[in-house]
Structure 1
Amino acid sequence: MAIFRKDSVPIAEAVSGYPDPWNLGRGFLSYRHLTEAGGLTQFGIALETLHPGKQSSQQHWEEHEDEFLYMLEGELTVIEDESETVIHPGDWCCWKAGVPVAHVLKNRSGKPATYLIAGSRIPKNVCHYPGLDMLATDAGYTHLDGTPYPTKGENE
């Protein structure tokens, strides 16, 4: 199917997959996986809403995956390394694969912020989290020395 209606994809509540102590919990953002509904495999696009007072992820950069954001409603603070920029509807951001600009979104406003987020789906990607003892690989989260973090249930 090529055509989808506005509310045809259900809203999902984000649940952080980061290992402790970096886990963000649940409910920090909600999203609709738009390209999942269409069965697309080469890139992913989601309609995300970051809730007030929350952040989207841990600050990171990707070795092999391009990322793109287009702001629709509200305002976000985009943190890139040590620089902060507030963006509004109509603004967009591009993070090129392999360029070590660590970024994160924070909603410091009192209202939800909604945006389209897109990324390539390159296998064997490595995600770096500067300042944290953590990498994300196809095999899961590891410490910088390559030691895997326990998966949920292993340490409970």
Structure 2
Amino acid sequence: MIIDPALLPDQSVTNYPDPFRAAVAGRSRKRLGTAAGLKNFGVNLTTLSPGSQSALRHWHSRQDEFIYVVQGQLVLVTEAGEHPMTAGMMAAFPAGEANGHHLVNRSAAPAVYLEIGDRTAQDRVDYPDHDLVAQSGPNGGWQFTHRNGAPYSSD
């Protein structure tokens, strides 16, 4: 199947609970994997506007992640610190490694990257900088809770 990303809609929605939604303002995705009908892994062409970030810093218990910078300049923030990334550079995050990470666009121009991740069920996402945990549900959705297990509401 051939996919022209220019024909796909930009999606800027987030599953994060209200207190965290502003963190990803300025992020938009074209869901290439979904458009192709992929079932086992997702592929997104993601654009970060200047000053925006990809996600809250996080790591997955069961899902692998891979990123490839297509255009622009990004800063990868991990447990080891900050790492500048430019077009052609890649990073990978194996499942189960407690290496919280995210991308930040500190440049004056939009940056574009491919994000690829598998869709392994029963994944848990930990957010080391926040009182937040996400657990994947049986139907692919996410349940967000505080670290103590209390669900997030509009608090």
Give TM-score scaled by structure 2 length.
0.90
Query: Greater helix share, 1 or 2?
Result: 2
- Pairing 1:67-82 to 2, within 5 Å after superposition: 67-82=65-80
Contact 2:24–2:55 under 8 Å retained in 1: no
Q: Alpha carbons of 1:129 and 1:67: their partners in 2 closer, same or farther (altered >3 Å)?
A: same
Specify the code of the residue in structure 2 equivalent to 1:148. Answer: P
* 2:140 counterpart of 1:149: no
Partner of 2:140: none
Aligned residues: 150
Contact 1:64–1:126 under 8 Å retained in 2: yes
- Pairing 1:94-109 to 2, within 5 Å after superposition: 94-109=92-107
Partner of 2:43: 45
Instruction: Structure 2: give runs of 5+ residues left out of the alignment.
Output: 138-142
Specify the code of the residue in structure 1 equivalent to 2:9. Answer: P
Partner of 1:15: 13
Q: Alpha carbons of 1:27 and 1:147: their partners in 2 closer, same or farther (altered >3 Å)?
A: closer
The alpha-carbon deviation at position 27 of structure 1 amounts to 4.1
Specify the code of the residue in structure 2 equivalent to 1:86. Answer: P
Partner of 2:52: 54
The alpha-carbon deviation at position 11 of structure 1 amounts to 2.2
* Residue of structure 2 aligned with 1:64, choices 62, 66, 70: 62
Partner of 1:116: 114
Deviations 1:46-75 (A, max 9, x none): 101101011111100000010000001000
Contact 1:24–1:57 under 8 Å retained in 2: no
Partner of 1:4: 3
Contact 2:5–2:32 under 8 Å retained in 1: no
The alpha-carbon deviation at position 31 of structure 1 amounts to 1.4
* 2:22 counterpart of 1:24: yes
Specify the code of the residue in structure 2 equivalent to 1:144. Answer: R
The alpha-carbon deviation at position 130 of structure 1 amounts to 0.5
Q: Alpha carbons of 1:4 and 1:130: their partners in 2 closer, same or farther (altered >3 Å)?
A: same
Once residues 128 and 24 of structure 2 are traced to their aligned partners in structure 1, the CA distance between those partners, rounded to angstroms, is 23
Instruction: Structure 1: give runs of 5+ residues left out of the alignment.
Output: none
Give TM-score scaled by structure 1 length.
0.89
Name the SS for the 2:20 alignment partner. coil
Specify the code of the residue in structure 2 equivalent to 1:103. Answer: H
Q: Alpha carbons of 1:26 and 1:126: their partners in 2 closer, same or farther (altered >3 Å)?
A: closer
